Chain A
Amino acid sequence: MLKRVHYRSSYLPYLLVAPQIIITILFFIWPAAQALYQSFLLQDAFGLSTEFVWFDNFIELYDNPNYLNSFARTGFFSLAVASLSMGFALFFAALADRVIKGSHTYRTLLIIPYAVAPVLAGTLWLFLFNPTLGIITYFLDTFGIDWNHKLNSAQAMSLVILAAAWKQISYNFLFFIAAMHSIPKSLIEASAIDGAGPLHRFRTIIFPLISPTTFFLLVVNIIYAFFDTFGIIHAITAGGPGNSTEILVYKVYNDGFVGLDLGGSAAQSVILMFIVVVLTVVQFKYVERKVQY
């Protein structure tokens, strides 16, 4: 933590941490506390009076099938995004790890989606799957598939999952490649001498050895799907049709800024914060374990 040798100074360290601490208090701690406080309040429709209602907002959420559905939907969404994106990334990484020539070019092209803003990614996929114009819609039509995510909620969900997974492939790819590079070459060589072919080697040596990275990425991808996909959904479906793509983060925004249910939205925020805390702790437990190696 602290260096064995360190400076003593009366005021300098406080001066150094001050900017960060002030911004943290103003824009992180204070709003979080506000959210917590507001989650205990009930405001009437005109914002004229507020009442302290303890856990009523939370109880209401618990009794609200809409919210519970959104919860389940978010779970499905994030698992689908994580597995799709990680699956493809792992596949590409395994191949790219095998080839020497051109692997740099592949990497350069594969990291591009990382730099694309979620809302732009959403717009892009929206265009490809546009029910009347989209190129992919056109292809699907020739196969007899009628695509309209504005009406079909299963198709809407598939599209946001696809867009979200596409954007995250870069990140997963880079981590899988790094993990594979860190496997000692001698291990691979030893198993090759033992007569294991490339596929067998991947299954019995490489995959088990990168499992810490896989687990780490699973957590990161879930966090990503939970919180960083707002722009994608906002651009493609705006939560629709019905509420079929309204994940938790989107619902906080919708209920708070559009529906103006401040207490309910705040209660949702608090629940989300709790989820982030749990996920972050899991992630850090993992980091700690990794550091000890």
Chain B
Amino acid sequence: MIENRPLTTFVSHSVLIIGVTLIVFPIWIMFVAATHDALRLTQVPLPLLPGDQLWANLQTLFQGKEFGIPIHLSVFNSLIMALMISVGKISISVLAAFAIVYFDFRFRMFFFWMIFITLMLPVEVRILPTYEVVAHFNMLDSYWGLSIPLIASATATFMFRQTFLTIPDELMEASRIDGASPMRFFVDVVLPMSRTNIAALFVILFIYGWNQYLWPLLITTDPDMYTAVMSIKQMLESGESEPQWQLIMLTALIAMLPPVLVVVFMQKVFVKGLTDSEK
């Protein structure tokens, strides 16, 4: 701080606290709703403080009778999908970036541009033909179908390319003199030196994968393959009567917990990765 003005600092804090409260308020209400029973949630005004029905609601979700899939199974599906997408994206991108930065080969630039244009085609835009391709390969209702079409990523490839370009050339030469083959160099030097980037990218991609909605909605028809995030929509639409808000909110709470935990606990590396990669 340049000058010491207790009043301005106090005002700053107050405004920030109000602002942050507003931002977090919806999440608080979600938690509160998840702890009441159905009856309480039909009485206006709705509660602002938690009730005691959390455990009961949780049990209902674990049985999963009403919505096709028990919550722990949909969370498991989400986990598999998010891991396959994040690990898959990181693996194929890091290999491709290594080839493009460290090898001179025919069609290098052609491949580079081919990867580049995928940056421009979000899945929402080419959803229908992609669906047809996945159907053609019999990958509907499978983990492969959920993840593979989403794992080619130009962004990750670019980020790794950027990182590799900052590794001094001499390290590669020193490793050649030490007798390391290209893949040895990759494993022993390039990967360890990219640790931070890999971790940051993992956070971003895990959230990206976990939060996928339209894609799983389209390609899963078997309730056993539903993911936690997409099952929300099923719950909103199920039944003629008013939706079961206490269950919906609890599902939402559970479905947002893993990415929130990842982002909060890996905050430092995530913030660094996010602000670095986009620049």
Contacts and interface: CB of A to CB of B under 8 A. Distances in A.
A231 B271 contact: no
Given A5-B172, A273-B121, A112 B24 contact: yes
A137 to B, nearest CB: 9
A35 B114 CA distance: 17
Contacts of B24: 109, 112
A23 interface: yes
Interface stretch (B42-50, B51-59, B60-68): B42-50
Interface stretch (A61-69, A74-82, A124-132): A124-132
Interface string A273-289: 10011001000000100
A34 B152 contact: no
B46, B134, B157, B271: most-surrounded residue (chain A CB, <10 A)? B46
B93 interface: yes
A276 to B, nearest CB: 5
Given A31-B129, A31-B133, A257-B218, A7 B210 contact: no
Given A27-B149, A112-B24, A12 B126 contact: no
Given A106-B16, A109-B23, A198-B8, A23 B252 contact: no
A31 B256 contact: no
B120 A9 contact: no
A32 B20 contact: no
Nearest to A141: B44
Given A3-B172, A123-B232, A257-B218, A166 B26 contact: yes
Contacts of B230: 119
A17 B214 CA distance: 28
A203 interface: no
B119 interface: yes
Interface in B125-141: 125-130, 132-134
B227 to A, nearest CB: 10
A102 B97 CA distance: 39
B125 A272 contact: yes
A174 B127 contact: no
Given A24-B115, A231-B214, A256 B128 contact: yes
Interface residues on A, range: 35 or more
A97 B82 CA distance: 34
B126 to A, nearest CB: 4
Interface stretch (A45-53, A148-156, A261-269): A261-269
B12 A16 contact: no
A38 B128 CA distance: 10
Interface of A: 1-9, 12-14, 16-17, 19-21, 23-32, 34-35, 38, 88, 91-92, 95-96, 98-100, 102, 106-120, 123-128, 132-135, 138, 166, 169, 171, 174-175, 178, 188-189, 192, 198, 216, 220, 227-228, 230-231, 234-235, 249, 252-253, 256-257, 262, 265-266, 269, 272-273, 276-277, 280, 287, 290
24 contacts: A3-B164, A14-B105, A19-B92, A21-B114, A23-B149, A27-B149, A92-B16, A92-B20, A95-B16, A98-B1, A108-B264, A109-B20, A111-B264, A115-B256, A117-B213, A125-B26, A192-B3, A198-B8, A234-B233, A257-B218, A262-B128, A265-B128, A273-B125, A276-B121
Given A30-B133, A124-B26, A124-B27, 10 more contacts: A13-B108, A106-B16, A109-B23, A110-B23, A112-B24, A112-B260, A112-B263, A120-B255, A192-B3, A235-B236
